[in-house]
Amino acid sequence: MTDAVVLVSGGAAVTPYTDPAHAAASGLAAGNTMTALRAHLLDRDIRVFTAPARIGTGEVREDAGWQGFSDVPVVLPSEVTINAVGRVDDAGVALAGFLRHLATTEGVGSVDLVGHSMGGLFSRAAIRELAGDGPRVERLVTLGTPWDGSVLGDLLDDEITEADAHGDPATLQIFAEARPYADANSEGAAAEVSRRFLRGWNDRQAGVLDGIPVTAIGAGYFSAATEPVQLWPHDGLVSLTSGRADEVPAAVLPEVERHSFPDHVHSIFFAEGFGLPWERALTWDPAVFARIDDALGI
């Protein structure tokens, strides 16, 4: 058993620093990505922390947006806070700094990382950055992580087009909102979640995950078509194929278990947007949490 589980939220997410005893006192205690999973792990008597993240650089004191939070009792410095709309490797530097902070202040010598969406990429970048200098990473679990591209990145990179939506209203709606969203919420992140970029980035990550068991969990609620497989089925932001890391080579991902939740969406943001219960989101479903428990051996 490791000393702690660290939860890492994804692109454009705002997440407060939390430890087992402290969280945001108003709103969603660990932000709209990690609140339910944190509560689940605390109920299992697991020592769990959330890595602070925000849109842009700085400290995390509140999130005034949808399903946000305030009254954060412990605020960490910007150097160990992830810029969730910045470059993946820069986020990895911040996350590695946060993990070293836990080692110094909390006595954490080993961790399991659970990353949602780009949080899985941030985690991989942090593992490379640590290079043995910091807590030992024992396991990595990813939820809807774009291992091999995303709807947003591939659309912006012209790897997929509106024609690939095959007239599906939900996918066309996602496409229509993707470009304005990227323009408003990206300092480099949107360009780094395309299939083209990540295949090169993955090659440079070869060997980083050696000796670290990985569990890759994907979802695919939107399934109006079957081709191209880099889009269909998808969870609103990441294809099932990419979320499961199906096409990531063994040199990059030597030890992996893959799980599918075909009737789930990427997050509660997508669940809310398409009139689904929050439990249909990868970040809010006890059935998904059971898979995480299995992966972490708890």
Does pLDDT of 88 surpass 90? yes
CATH 3.40.50.1820 fits 4-296, yes or no: yes
Note the pTM of the prediction, 2 decimals: 0.98
Does pLDDT of 89 surpass 80? yes
> What is the DSSP pairing of strand 4-8 with strand 110-116?
parallel
- pLDDT (0 to 100) of residue 242: 98
Position 190 confidence tier, pLDDT thresholds 50, 70, 90: confident
- pLDDT (0 to 100) of residue 185: 66
Does pLDDT of 161 surpass 80? yes
- Worst-scoring range by mean pLDDT, 53-62, 188-197, 257-266? 188-197
CA-angle at 252, arms to 250 and 256, nearest 5°: 60
The answer for residues whose C-beta is within 8 angstroms of residue 285's C-beta and 6 or more apart is: 261, 264, 279
Kindly report the average pLDDT of the chain as a whole number.
Answer: 96
Residues 86-97, mean pLDDT to the nearest whole number: 97
- pLDDT (0 to 100) of residue 60: 98
Q: Give the dihedral of Cα atoms 36, 52, 219, 214; nearest 10 deg.
A: -110
- pLDDT (0 to 100) of residue 186: 63
Position 189 confidence tier, pLDDT thresholds 50, 70, 90: confident
Distance, CA of 231 to CA of 236 (rounded, Å): 9
